Chains A and B, each alone.
Chain A
Amino acid sequence: QVQLVQSGSELKKPGASVKVSCKASGYTFTNYGMNWVRQAPGQGLEWMGWINTNTGNPTYAQDFTGRFVFSLDTSVSTAYLQISSLKAEDTAVYYCAGEDFDLWGRGTLVTVSS
Chain B
Amino acid sequence: SYELTQPSSVSVSPGQTARITCSGDVLAKKYARWFQQKPGQAPVLVIYKDSERPSGIPERFSGSSSGTTVTLTISGAQVDDEADYYCYSAADNNRVFGGGTKLTVL
Contact = CB atoms under 8 A, between A and B. Distances in A.
A87 interface: no
Contact of B97 (A44, A104, A106, A107): A44
Interface string B16-55: 0000000000000000010101000111110010000010
Nearest to B33: A101
Contact of B95 (A61, A102, A104, A105): A61
Interface of A: 35, 37, 44-47, 50, 59, 61-62, 95, 97, 100-102, 104-107
Contacts of B43: 37, 45, 95, 97, 101, 104
B93 interface: yes
State the main secondary structure of chain B at its contact with A: strand
A95 B42 contact: yes
B14 interface: no
A44 B86 contact: yes
15 contacts: A44-B97, A44-B98, A44-B99, A44-B100, A45-B100, A47-B97, A50-B95, A59-B93, A61-B94, A95-B42, A95-B43, A100-B45, A101-B43, A101-B45, A104-B43
